[in-house]
Amino acid sequence: MTLAPNDALRLSNAPAVYPAFFNAVFAGMPAEQAHHVGFSMIKATEKSGVSAGLRAALRPKADLATTVMGLNFPSPFGLAAGFDKQGIGTAALADLGFGHIEVGTITGQAQPGNPEPRLFRLVEDEGLINRMGFNNDGAEAVAPRLATTRRRLTRRYGRTRPVLGVNIGKTKVVELDDAVEDYVVSTRLLARHADYLVVNVSSPNTPGLRQLQQIESLAPLLETVQYHADRSTGRRVPLAVKIAPDLADDDVSAVAAMAQELGLAGVIATNTTISREGLVTDIETVESFGAGGVSGKPVRQRSLEVLDLLRAELDTDTAVISVGGVTDGADVIERLRRGADLVQGYTAFLYQGPFWAGRINRDLHRNLRAWK
């Protein structure tokens, strides 16, 4: 099976097509099952010959390229961590037009995550609640997949390939006192395969993890990860930290000051929120889903506020990667104009479908003067 670039382009220019497909195929499935089915369909494009047509149609225009953290990104818009947790379909996702793919969160040890069900749609809010719990095969299993992905992307794209980010977190069974060593395990195995590395201390679904956002814990953790990343690769690995939207403004400022003091490459803002404030979905339904982090449009406003705080505190040498409630090209442009160096999305991908990044890239191309 093949898909001509012009056919792929026509499909990507018809945003009404996917909602009908979603309602017919995915809406009746549990959210996590729908994710696995959809991801399997994306991965199948590599074997079917469809991906070549997608790649030609959705590849970002050359004028979208930007340099951030010393890396060349073909587009400022990328896919946030959480979609490809295990590095099992990264190259297929890259063919959809993302300027970077952030794989993970990956932990030092393999773990199943929290019991199912653990992913829930908030359709009226265009959001999700998840308590996945860093389900993944562990750093040792994921490392060779990332090595293969890098080679595959380089063969396909050459020097203009999408950037590969790797997001690492704490293994659930590891005590907080031993968390640094757990992150070091992942760092030693994964840093060599990462264009940039992210320390995730902001998921609400691993008990105690957010305590590591406290500066007295966070600074030595980041220093140690940076040391081992550089030592294991023989190069300076761009390192970023991902923070929660639930941090108080003063704590965001403290993270910014620490990032500059340590010479971090960037700050990713923000992760999911534990807040249920302002949701349109009825309260009984929300309560029936239980604990977990909210993503998508409900996080948008706080994500923008944290972006503004960070950009005011950080110099231009420290990148701000904005994520949370990004839906369309206008959202991406707004964040770039407010000082974000890169923008990521995830939740809207589930609602908008496989041509989402391609449409955003076209909006960025048409409105270059609005953000460059």
pLDDT tens column, 127-165: 999 999 999 999 999 999 999 999 999 999 998 999 999
Over residues 313-320, mean pLDDT: 95
Reported as a pLDDT band with limits 50, 70 and 90, residue 216 is confident
Q: Which pLDDT value is given to residue 117?
A: 96
Residues 6+ apart with CB under 8 A from 237: 191, 194, 196, 197, 226, 229, 230
Q: Report the domain count for the chain.
A: 1
Do the annotations mark residue 62 as ligand-binding?
no
Do the annotations mark residue 188 as ligand-binding?
no
Do the annotations mark residue 292 as ligand-binding?
no
Q: Could you say which of 12, 203, 295, 322 is catalytic?
A: 203
Token reading at 215? 């500066």
Over residues 349-354, mean pLDDT: 91
Do the annotations mark residue 84 as ligand-binding?
yes
CATH of the domain at 178: 3.20.20.70
Domain range spanning residue 364? 5-371
Average pLDDT of the chain to the nearest whole number: 92
Do the annotations mark residue 325 as ligand-binding?
yes
Over residues 175-188, mean pLDDT: 94
Reported as a pLDDT band with limits 50, 70 and 90, residue 1 is very low
pLDDT tens column, 192-204: 999 999 999 877 7
Do the annotations mark residue 285 as ligand-binding?
no
Do the annotations mark residue 290 as ligand-binding?
no
pLDDT tens column, 256-284: 999 999 999 999 999 999 999 999 999 99
Report the percentage of the chain scoring pLDDT > 70: 94
pLDDT tens column, 70-122: 999 999 999 999 999 999 999 999 999 999 999 989 999 999 999 999 999 99
Do the annotations mark residue 271 as ligand-binding?
yes
**Residue 203 designated active-site:** yes
Over residues 292-307, mean pLDDT: 96
pLDDT for 232 beyond 80: yes
Strands, DSSP E only, in 127-274? 127-130, 163-169, 196-200, 239-243, 266-269
Do the annotations mark residue 157 as ligand-binding?
no
Dihedral pair phi/psi, residue 165, rounded to 5°? -100, 150
Cα 126 to chain centroid distance, Å, stands at 17
Is the alpha carbon torsion for 311, 314, 317, 322 positive or negative?
Answer: negative
Radius of gyration of the chain (CA): 19
Rounded Cα–Cα distance for residues 84 and 103 (Å)? 6
